[in-house]
Chain A
Amino acid sequence: MAAAEALEEKQADATQAPRPRSPRRYTDLCGRHRLQARVQLLSREIGFLEEELQSVEGLQPVSVCCKEVDKYVGTTPDPLIPTYKKRHKSCCFSRWLRAMVCFNATCFTGGCSSWQNRPCCTRRPNGSCSSSGGYPSRSCCSVSCSRLRCVIPRLSCPGYSCGCVCSCSNCTKVRLCPTCLCCISHCVCE
């Protein structure tokens, strides 16, 4: 009986509507925390800026960086740039002088190069050489030649039609393969 009464009391309590609490006093909690976080961030930023100010004291001027950029760009070959190698004036003079005194065939084996007496040679894609102008093809092709050969299809040489790129002093012009337009076909000495 007592247990049943206790249970009845408990159930009555459970169904009783909760007494409303008096409303909490409004405090700007959200705004305060946000403001505090911002102040902390700004304090951190101040620290970083002070560090940076100290580090700027010992920095090299911009001209040093510019020199590094200039040097790097000048020493790296670039497939997208029309290459113009300017010969220095002193080099041109010495070449001219050699051309004036040099009359034998050894001039055309790479010993000297003259703008007026250059042999006209062509290195074919299969590696053999041909020449014009009465010069022996063997000596024509004995000049040093850096060979770039496309061995796999590349965007710059999709048709395997690339041959030799001559960077030797006797080469003044390199023709492009008309088939793929973007490919260097052979060395033409002019």
Chain B
Amino acid sequence: MHMASEGDELVKRAEKLCALSVLQLRLKPDWPAATALYEQAAKCFSQAKAFGKARLAHERAAHGHDRQGAAWQSAKELAKAAEAAQHAGDWGDVAPLWRAAALAYATASRQTAAADALAKGALALEQHDPKAACELHQEAIEALEREGKAGASGDVYRQAIGASLRMGRSAEGVCMLLRWAAAAGEAGLHASQAKAYLGAVVVWLHAGDAAQADAVYQDAMDVAVFARSEQAAAGGTLLDAYRSGSAERVRRCVAGALALFGDLDNQVARLARKLPDGDLQAMAAVLAGASAPFDAGLDEADLT
């Protein structure tokens, strides 16, 4: 309580500094001093666990920094405000605050920090507001791709993929896996790229959509890096196992290449271990019509 009242004092003083007054010859609000006071007040509130007031103080401090032209400081204060809102439990305000922080980071030309802020927000909201969390993940990835340094931030992608898969949104998960594969390819991270493509195939198979899995696999085989990799061979064998319609064969395929399947992203590996899942016969039928088997054996008539 003692800290909270101290915080209230500081806020009052800061507000006075912001107000214009002819008596003290203040024609403009005194932002530097006011901002410092707001920051102090926010610290006091945080220590007193009055997170609602702490959040307001942080927001005012961010506003002050913004008026001073320090976009980066403003962004940091907004991030702290968002964290305070999380502690206070105002889940509706968390997403806008993180977005504002990301915008401020972007204004300070720190796109990676903006993406990180959005990712943090998404992580916080995963339990309480999954839809908002997904949107934040999307925005984070877009921010990274805009800057062009997507290859260096595998963590954001991994988080987004993990979150979508945990929520059971396979389509979004695959979408992000493919985007990560593209980003990794640009950054020259071939192993990650191959793993991402294999992961996409596994996710579709787990979701029971064999046609999509096959389509993704064929698209991925166009990429030279993937076509040469061990992951492509494992993916092909897995699709062949599905084509045969035998659950035992699928299990054997996964167990045989466990080192490869287990090396994928955590959530994807978890799904891989759960294979086969769903209606195998239907999937086998779809696959039989879709494309040729990966390993058709040696064709005796083919003399090449």
User: Do A and B interact?
Assistant: no
